[in-house]
Structure 1
Amino acid sequence: MLPAPELTAEPTSRWRIVLLLAGVLLLAANLRVPLTSVGPVLSNISTDVGLPANLLGLLNSTPLLAFGLSSVPLATLGRRCGVERVLGFALFALAAGLLLRSAPSVVALFAGTIVLSVAIPAGNVLLPSVVKHHFPTEITLITGIYAATMSGVAAIGSGVAAPIAAAFAGGWRLALGCWVVLTVLAIALWIPQWRSGAVQAAGIGAATARTPWRSALAWQVTLFMGLQSLGFYVCIGWLPSFLTSAGYTAVHSGFLLFYYQAVSLIAYVVGPLLLRKMRSQRAFAALASVSCATGYVGLLVAPSAALVWLTLAGLGAGACLVTALSFFSLRAANPAGAAALSGMAQSIGYLIAAAGPIAFGAIRSAADSWIPALIALTACALVQTVIALYAGRAKTI
C-alpha cells in the first residue's frame, strides 16, 4: 500500500476557495492548448525545418504516448511527494517545454515536446484528486467547469495558431510559444497551494491507496476513458483531411474543426448540472456515446451536412469527457483512490488513444477510402456505449 496524495486541509475562507478554484482552472487551461495549437501550423513547421511526413506524425503521436507511459508513475509521485507539490513542478516543466519547443532547432522541437508531454499528464492525473478532496459535494460541477476551461482554451489555440503564425515575424514558433504566458499565470496562482501542500510531505495521517489493476469497475472506467479519447484524437488528427476530400476548402475545414471543439463547451456547462442530479451516470454516458456514433455515421453518409453531424459529435465528445473525468472521483472512495484510478485510466486510456489515429490512418490508406475507417470509428463508439452502462453504475472501488 502506498501513501495517499498529500492534500492540504479544507479551505476555511471564501478567499482561499476562490484562489484554489482559480488555480485549478488556470492549471486546466494549460492541459490541451500546447497540443491543439500544433496541428494548424504543421505545414509551417514542415516547410521551415524540413521534417518529412513520418517525423511530423511522430511529433503528433509523442504526447499521447508520453501521457500513457507517465500517468501511473505520476500518480505514485503524487502519493509520495504531495499532489500540490507535483503539480507545481509540472507547471514549471511545462513552461520550460513550451520555450524549448519554440527554440530554433529540430532537436529542441522534439525535446520540448517530450518535456511538456510529461508535464501535462500530471494535471490530467492529479486534478481529480484535488477536486475530490476540496470539493467533495460538487465533483461533477467543478469537473465540468475545469473541463470547459481546458477545452475552450484548446479550441481558441487551434483557431488562432495559423493567424498568429502568418501575422507575426516569429511565425509558428511564436504561435506555439506564446502560451507560456498562460503557464506563468498558472504558476503564480498555484504557488499558495504548492507551499501549503509541502507542509504535509511526511504523509502524517494519510490514507492509503494502490492502483486498482484487479478491479473490474476500474477497467470499465479505463476503457471508457480510452475509447472516448480515441474518438476525440482521431477527429482532431483526421477531420480536416476528411472534410477537404469531401469538397470543403482548407479554411472551411479548419473552421469546422474549431466548431467541433467549441460546441463541446455546451456539454461542459449542461452536463454537470444533469450529472449532479443522477445517482447513476449510465444513461448519460451511453447517450453521449451514441451521439458520437451518430455524428460519425452522418459524416459518412452525408458529409455535405457536416455542421449538423459535428454538432452531435462535439456535444457527445464533450459529454463523454466530462463524464470520464467525473468517474475518477465518483468511482473512488477517497482522494487517494481518485488519484490511483485516474493514473490507471489515463495511462491505459491514452495508449489506446495514441493507437487510434495511427490505426485510422492505416485503414484509410489500405482501403484507399474513408468508408472502412469511419465504420471502424463508429464501431468503437458503439463498444464505448456498452462500456458506459457498466462504468456508469453507482458503485465505488
Structure 2
Amino acid sequence: MSFRSALLVAGFALAALNLRPAIAGLSPLLDEIMDDVGLSPAGGGAITTVMVVCLGVFGPLTPMLARRFGLDRTLLAGLLVIAAGLALRGLDGAPVLYLGSALAATAIAVMNVSMPGIVKQHFPDRINLMTGVYVSCVVAGAAAASALVVPIEHTTGYGWRGVSALLAVPALLAALLWLPQALRGRPGGQNGPRPFGAVLRSRVTWYVTALMGLQSLTFYVMLAWLPTIYLEAGLAADQAGYLLSLTNLVQVGTSLAVPVLAGRRASQVPYVIGAGVLTVFGYLGVLLAPTTLPWLWMIVLGIGQGASFALALLIIALRPADPAGVTALSAVAQSVGYVIAALGPLLFGYLRQVSGSWTVPLTVGLGVVGVQLVAGWFAGRPGTLIRSAP
C-alpha cells in the first residue's frame, strides 16, 4: 500500500471514529452537567433529544452540500464543525451547551450520509471490507467515548468542560489527515449526488430505509433501557452496566467481519435474516430469562444488532450504481431511519409505564424485529438502483 493510500484509509477510519463520541460521551457526564449548568432532568435529557433530532433532520442537507463542494470537502467540513460544536458546548451557559450539541450533531448527520458515498467513491473494489472498517470504527468510537470520558476527567482534573474540548482533538486530527484528499477532490460534478426524486421513486429505497430505521430502533431501545431492565430483574447496577458494555463490545468485531463476508455475495438476504433471528433470540432471552446466562443473551444480541447495522450500511453502499446514488440513498435511509429510531426509547418507556412491566415493551420489540426481517428480505435481494444522470 502506497503512502497516499495509507493516508486515505487512516483519514477515513479516524473520521468514522468521530461519528459517535459527541453523543456517547455525554451520558456518563450528564449528572455533572445538569448540576453545573442548573438543568432539570428533563432539560438534561433534552440535550440528547436535540442531537438525535438533528441526526434525522439535517441529513438531507448532504446531497446539496456534496453537489456544491464534493463529498471529500463535505466530510472535511463536517469534522471541523464537530470540533467547533464540542468546543462550544464546553463554554459557560445552557444556550451554548444546546447550540454546541446541535452543531456537532448536525455535522454528524451530514457525515453519516456522506460516508457510504465515500466508500463507493474511493474503495469501489473493496466496498465490503471498507464498510466493515467504517462500521466497526463507528461502534468502537461510541464504546470508547462512553467508557473513557469519566476516567479522563478524573485523571486530568479538567471537569466536563475540559473533557468536551478534548473530544474535539480526534476530530481535528482526522481533519488534518483528510485535508490532502479534500484538496485533491473535485468540488461537485461526479462527486455530487443525484436528485432525491429518482431515489424516492424506487421500492429499494423504502426497503432499505425500513431496514435501517427498524434495526436502529431496536438498538437504541436496548441502549436506553437495558440497564434498567436488568436492575428491575434484580441485578446490581455495576453488573447491568457491564452487560451493556459486553453487547456493545461484541458489536465491534461483528461489524468488521459481517460486511466482508456478506459483500462477497450478490444477495445479502441470508445474512440479514440470520442477524434478525439472532436479535430475536437476544430479545427473547432478556424477556423470558434475563438473569439466566445474561452474558449469553448479550453476546447473541450484540452479534445480531451489530450485524444488522453493518448490513444496512453495506446494502446502502452496494445497491446504487455510483457514489452519487449512494449519497442520495444514504440521505433518505439514514434521515428517515433516525427519526424512526428516536421514537423507540420514548415508546418503550411509555409502554413500561402503562403496563407495569417490561413484558409488553419487549414483546413489541419482537414484533419490530419481525417487520425488520421482512424489510431485510426485500432490501437484501440482488438489485441495482438506476445510475444517476451526469
**Which TM-score band (shorter chain)?**
over 0.9
Gaps (5+ residues) in structure 1?
1-12
Is the aligned partner of 1:209 residue 2:198?
no
Mapping of residues 301-340 of structure 1, within 5 Å: 301-304=288-291, 305-340=293-328
Is the aligned partner of 1:20 residue 2:11?
no
Q: Which of residues 364, 370, 373 in structure 1 aligns to 2:358?
A: 370
What is the CA-CA distance between 1:168 and the residue it aligns to? 4.3
Q: Distance in 2 between matches of 1:96 and 1:350?
A: 23
Instruction: Give the aligned partner of residue 6 of structure 1.
Output: none
What is the CA-CA distance between 1:291 and the residue it aligns to? 1.0
What is the CA-CA distance between 1:155 and the residue it aligns to? 0.6
Q: Which of residues 245, 259, 263 in structure 2 aligns to 1:258?
A: 245
Instruction: Give the aligned partner of residue 261 of structure 2.
Output: 274
Q: Distance in 2 between matches of 1:20 and 1:380?
A: 38
Q: Distance in 2 between matches of 1:297 and 1:158?
A: 27
What is the CA-CA distance between 1:134 and the residue it aligns to? 1.4
Instruction: Give the aligned partner of residue 35 of structure 1.
Output: 23
Runs of 4+ aligned structure 1 residues displaced above 4 Å come to 205-208
Is the aligned partner of 1:298 residue 2:298?
no
Contact persistence 1:98–1:177 (CA under 8 A): yes
1:333-378 residue CA offsets vs partner (Å, 9 max, x unmatched):
1110000000010110010011111111111112221111111112
Gaps (5+ residues) in structure 2?
386-390
Q: Distance in 2 between matches of 1:362 and 1:141?
A: 40
Mapping of residues 164-175 of structure 1, within 5 Å: 164-175=152-163
Instruction: Give the aligned partner of residue 151 of structure 2.
Output: 163
Instruction: Give the aligned partner of residue 92 of structure 2.
Output: 104
Is the aligned partner of 1:284 residue 2:271?
yes
Q: 1:174 to 1:378 in 2, by over 3 A?
A: farther
Is the aligned partner of 1:394 residue 2:379?
no
1:30-81 residue CA offsets vs partner (Å, 9 max, x unmatched):
0011111112222222233232222222212222211111111212211222
Query: Which residue identity is paired with 2:241?
Result: G
Is the aligned partner of 1:225 residue 2:218?
no
Q: Which of residues 51, 66, 71 in structure 1 aligns to 2:39?
A: 51
Query: Which residue identity is paired with 1:249?
Result: A
Number of matched pairs: 382
Contact persistence 2:67–2:187 (CA under 8 A): no
Contact persistence 1:208–1:336 (CA under 8 A): yes
Contact persistence 1:164–1:171 (CA under 8 A): no
Q: 1:167 to 1:373 in 2, by over 3 A?
A: farther
Is the aligned partner of 1:195 residue 2:183?
yes
Contact persistence 2:66–2:191 (CA under 8 A): no
Contact persistence 1:282–1:392 (CA under 8 A): yes
1:2-36 residue CA offsets vs partner (Å, 9 max, x unmatched):
xxxxxxxxxxx722211111111010000011111
1:185-235 residue CA offsets vs partner (Å, 9 max, x unmatched):
1011011111112xx3263x6776222111111100001001111111111
Q: Which of residues 50, 63, 66 in structure 1 aligns to 2:54?
A: 66
Instruction: Give the aligned partner of residue 370 of structure 2.
Output: 382
Stretch of structure 1 that moved more, 58-67 or 117-126? 58-67
CA RMSD of aligned residues (A): 1.7
Query: Which residue identity is paired with 1:365?
Result: Q
Q: 1:30 to 1:302 in 2, by over 3 A?
A: same
Mapping of residues 59-138 of structure 1, within 5 Å: 59-138=47-126
What is the CA-CA distance between 1:252 and the residue it aligns to? 2.1
Contact persistence 2:59–2:113 (CA under 8 A): yes
TM-score by length of 2: 0.94
Query: Which residue identity is paired with 2:271?
Result: F
Stretch of structure 1 that moved more, 353-362 or 110-119? 353-362
Q: Distance in 1 between matches of 2:35 and 2:236?
A: 21
Contact persistence 2:67–2:192 (CA under 8 A): no
What is the CA-CA distance between 1:117 and the residue it aligns to? 0.6
Stretch of structure 1 that moved more, 161-170 or 207-216? 161-170
Q: 1:269 to 1:160 in 2, by over 3 A?
A: same
Q: 1:176 to 1:120 in 2, by over 3 A?
A: same
Stretch of structure 1 that moved more, 101-110 or 46-55? 46-55
What is the CA-CA distance between 1:271 and the residue it aligns to? 0.6
What is the CA-CA distance between 1:167 and the residue it aligns to? 4.6
Q: Distance in 2 between matches of 1:43 and 1:65?
A: 22
Contact persistence 1:296–1:377 (CA under 8 A): yes
TM-score by length of 1: 0.92
Query: Which residue identity is paired with 1:359?
Result: L
Instruction: Give the aligned partner of residue 236 of structure 2.
Output: 249
Q: Distance in 1 between matches of 2:148 and 2:243?
A: 14
What is the CA-CA distance between 1:269 and the residue it aligns to? 2.8
Contact persistence 1:286–1:385 (CA under 8 A): yes
Stretch of structure 1 that moved more, 242-251 or 376-385? 242-251
Instruction: Give the aligned partner of residue 3 of structure 1.
Output: none
Q: 1:267 to 1:206 in 2, by over 3 A?
A: closer
1:274-322 residue CA offsets vs partner (Å, 9 max, x unmatched):
1132210011011101211211111111111321111111111111111
Contact persistence 2:18–2:171 (CA under 8 A): yes
Instruction: Give the aligned partner of residue 10 of structure 1.
Output: none
State the identity %.
Answer: 37
